[in-house]
Chains A and B, each alone.
Chain A
Amino acid sequence: MAKFSRFRIAWVTLLLFAFSFGFFLLVAATNTTPVDTSVNAEKGQENSTFSKHKNSAENEKCLQCHGQSKYSYFNKESKRKIIKKMYAELIMNRSVFYESNHREFKCIDCHSEEYLGFPHAGNLRMESQPNCLDCHGEDEKYAKYHFENIEKEFQSSVHSEKHSDDFTCWMCHNAHTYLITARTSENIKQTISYDNAICMNCHSDFSKYQLLTNRQTPNLIKKHDWLPNQKLHFQAVRCIECHTKKINDSTLVGHNILPKKEAVKRCEECHSTNSVLMASLYRYKIKEIRSTQGFFQGILVNDSSVIGANRNFFLNIVSVIIASIVIIGLFIHALFRVIKK
């Protein structure tokens, strides 16, 4: 009898462990690969997939060379077709371009028509680039973005104070890939990785960084090693959460990158009920969850889990009630023991 039951206990315990293990396997199996937000064009694709875009025929005139890793031209002197390797930085990714904000544009809307000729004329290098506000300034259609406020914030940021005219909006908003994400994306992780890639694109790229300064690129991993699970934090929170301060509520994305001494270092700024994240990163998300997914969904289906910040009101109440009942129960029991003694 005793032996038999011991086996049973062993079985039950084993089963419980098997379940936990199975749970973790399940977790591992459903591992989803993160969204690829790399902004670099690696390989060109077939242009036929993009022919539905109204300017695609026009754009192919440029993309036949700038759309993949090699290009060709006809050498009039030697009467031969020459095939050459395209410079990596000058290669564009069609699919990313045709999804970007400025997908409706022709290349020659922003670039000189003279680029149609090859070799490109030398004076084209002196061509001035359009500015965001040239097109977006004082325009009703884009009022909700508050371009003027962003411009002001940007002017007061460390980047533009230290590098004035060299540092333009295009440095962060790649002319051919920029796509509004924070405002439209349903997936917070995707927004975070998109926005952080913008900063890392330069801060982890020595050659780009050195275009602006002769300083060595600071090692960002080392500079942020005071954060526990630094890697996780960089995936869970945007650089701008710590490096900008919200000046006006109208702009969704802060642009005033502060001097490093003013960056957020206190954990409680995020890890508490009045977390700064609620005002920025999760602002849209929270409303959306409450309104569309209902009460209980909001408890479980929640990307925005931050220790200390997303204390669930309902679970809090329930746990306090249960704890109180238990403690009061014990007190009453003790009381009876004393009385009945």
Chain B
Amino acid sequence: MAEERIYFYPVFIRLWHLINAILCLILMITGISMQFSNPKYPLIRFDIAVSIHNIVGILLSLDYFLFIIGNLISGNGRYYKFPLRGLFTNLKLQLTYYTKGVFQKEKAPFLINKERKFNPLQQFTYLLVMYYVIPVIIITGIAMMYPEIFIPATLLGISALHLTDLIHIFSGFVISLFMFIHIYFCTIGKTPISSFKSIVNGYHEVHE
């Protein structure tokens, strides 16, 4: 038993992740409410949605710092690094496993152990979301909070605020999709809820 459990999720990751998940949900709901604001059927009153979205956005930025600094100090960051060589082959292997293998009770192509916490697909999407999309959404969000400082009137004839807004909304869309896929794929484990147990108690239960 002891051998099958690996301590993968240190306290700071669990704390970061819990805060992150809650804040992301709030940002999603207030963001959608603003984007689809309608006086007749207000999901949340516009000015309240704006205030919540702004405050929660700042909290998320702070939380992101916890993630970055924690990963630097604890060495958890090493799980996010992978060789570029063979990336496509690895991704394809993992994808074929998810589309065919899982149903035929095949073994997962990449063993999870102390050296490899994530499979290539996880690694790739986590890296993309955590080190690219989240920074972009934070930067554009803060820029739109202080447009008079950061955003010029026009960029190549296009309203720069509009452009920043488009990038922000697009990133939000990507993160929302990621969240759906992410939660679903977390149900693929030893049992459908074992991953969720892991992110609560810190221990990953090895399967196959």
Contact = CB atoms under 8 A, between A and B. Distances in A.
Interface of A: 1-2, 4-6, 8-9, 12-13, 16-17, 20, 24, 26-28, 30-32, 34, 189, 226, 228-229, 231-232, 266-269, 271-273, 300-303, 305, 307-308, 311, 319, 322-323, 326-327, 330, 333-334, 336-337, 340
User: Closest 4 CB pairs between A and B?
Assistant: A5-B83, A305-B162, A31-B152, A308-B37
B42 A336 contact: no
Contact of B152 (A12, A16, A27): A27
A221 B132 CA distance: 38
17 contacts: A9-B84, A9-B127, A20-B136, A30-B152, A31-B152, A34-B153, A229-B148, A268-B39, A272-B46, A303-B162, A311-B35, A322-B177, A326-B180, A327-B180, A330-B181, A333-B98, A337-B103
Interface residues of B, number: 57
Given A5-B82, A30-B156, A273 B38 contact: yes
B81 A303 contact: no
B108 interface: no
Chain A interface mostly: helix
Contacts of B176: 323
B83 A303 contact: no
A31 B165 CA distance: 17
B26 interface: no
B47 interface: yes
B159 A302 contact: yes
Contacts of A30: 152, 154-156
A35 to B, nearest CB: 10
B34 A16 contact: no
A277 to B, nearest CB: 13
Contacts of B150: 24
B46 A271 contact: yes
A269 B38 CA distance: 9
Nearest to A265: B47
A34 B151 CA distance: 13
Given A20-B136, A20-B139, A267-B47, A307 B152 contact: no
A305 B151 contact: no
A327 to B, nearest CB: 6
B193 interface: no
A27 B155 contact: yes
B160 interface: yes
Given A308-B34, A311-B36, A20 B162 contact: no
B110 interface: no
B6 interface: no
Interface string B159-176: 111110110000001001
Interface in B16-58: 34-39, 42, 45-47, 50-51, 54
A5 B166 CA distance: 33
B3 to A, nearest CB: 25
B148 A6 contact: no
